[in-house]
Amino acid sequence: MPRHDIIVVGASAGGVEALSYIVKNLPPDLDAVVLIVLHIPSHGISVLPRILSRAGGLQAFHAKDGEQIFPQRIYVAPPDYHLLVKSGYLHLARGPRENSHRPAIDPLFRTAARVYGRRVVGVVLTGALDDGTAGLKAVKMRGGVAVVQDPENAMYNGMPRSAIENIDNIDYILPLSDIPDVLVTLVNTEVDCEEDLVSDEVEIESDLAQLDMKVLNSDKRPGKPSPFGCPDCGGTLWDLSEGHLLRFRCRTGHAFSAETLRAKQSESLEDALWVALRALEEKASLSHRMAERMRDRNQILSAERLEQDVQDAQEHAAVIRNVLLKGNSTGVEVNTTLASGDKEITDDSA
């Protein structure tokens, strides 16, 4: 009888510490494969396999495209690649970002559930925003087991809280200290061979993660058009909402949860405000130079009109500058949190 021998784990900010603890407390003869996505910058250098190999008895490696899956090993998604699961092997893809990340958690969870169904255990750990929720929901739809770190115990509670709020039938909500023992118990538990059907939505979204041209060119899309544009490519976002979970995906495959889309819109707003501030400062500077030249030529009325333009531009610029300095309306605090989570992954001293 098969067992729960496919463990997929997702983490973001604060994830290095949480992952190290779990790996430290897993036995070296664990009869399962552990697949991990930790949010990292696309152009960063990940030393997570080295950290995890030092932490426990299981050896950790960056996944390689086409690599065969073996138990008693940990495979980590490398920077700028989605880690996807095929039947018996791994696939790396530079497909569209999901929730503004590549690697993202949802594609790993979704493809593992698609192939291995009830054998999959999905684990969502500490992290900001809500990547992992849609993927964990796919795990549950295929009969797998959902494990979520207790938000009160997580360094950053966004991802665990999102999973709990949007998925009705979470199997385990646990403090970090209890997760390793539960995983060992699940690995030693036999699984019913009966398979739940793979939904069309999971099939399509799994293929989009690897830029499958057949799916990209197809007019068959899950969801319905929304009034929102994709922050990454400008295309129309399709509303994939189901139950409590509000999600969007564009034609080319960029995917966003509601919280991530809101954060991206805040980033776009901040960018637009900086552009507007620059344009107003340049207008004020140019108008001031022109006004001086007009006064030198004794063209007083023209100079006064230009000086009024200078004053108006500076007043408008001051309003925008105050908005940027406050930061709250542009999502600066959220972005800082994510950046701090990314920084620790590239730190060799971790």
Query: Active site includes 12?
Result: yes
CA atoms of 313 and 305, how far apart (whole Å): 12
Provide the Cα torsion 17, 84, 99, 134; round to 10°: -90
Is the peptide bond prior to 103 cis by the omega test (within 30 degrees of 0)?
Answer: yes
The three-class DSSP label of residue 181 is helix
**CB contact at 8 A, 142 and 117:** yes
Query: Active site includes 340?
Result: no
Q: What is the 3-state secondary structure (H, E, C) of 107-148?
A: HHHHHHHHHHHHHEEEEECCCCCCCCHHHHHHHHHCCCEEEE
Among the options 4, 39, 91, 254, which is catalytic?
39
Among the options 12, 100, 206, 257, which is catalytic?
12
The two beta strands, 236-239 and 224-229, are antiparallel
CA atoms of 107 and 97, how far apart (whole Å): 10
Indicate if the alpha-carbon torsion angle 240, 15, 209, 88 is positive or negative.
negative
The three-class DSSP label of residue 215 is helix
Query: Active site includes 271?
Result: no
Crossing angle for the helix pair 48-55 and 15-24, nearest 10 degrees? 40
β-bridge partners, 242: 245
Among the options 5, 106, 130, 131, which is catalytic?
131
Active site residues: 12, 39, 131
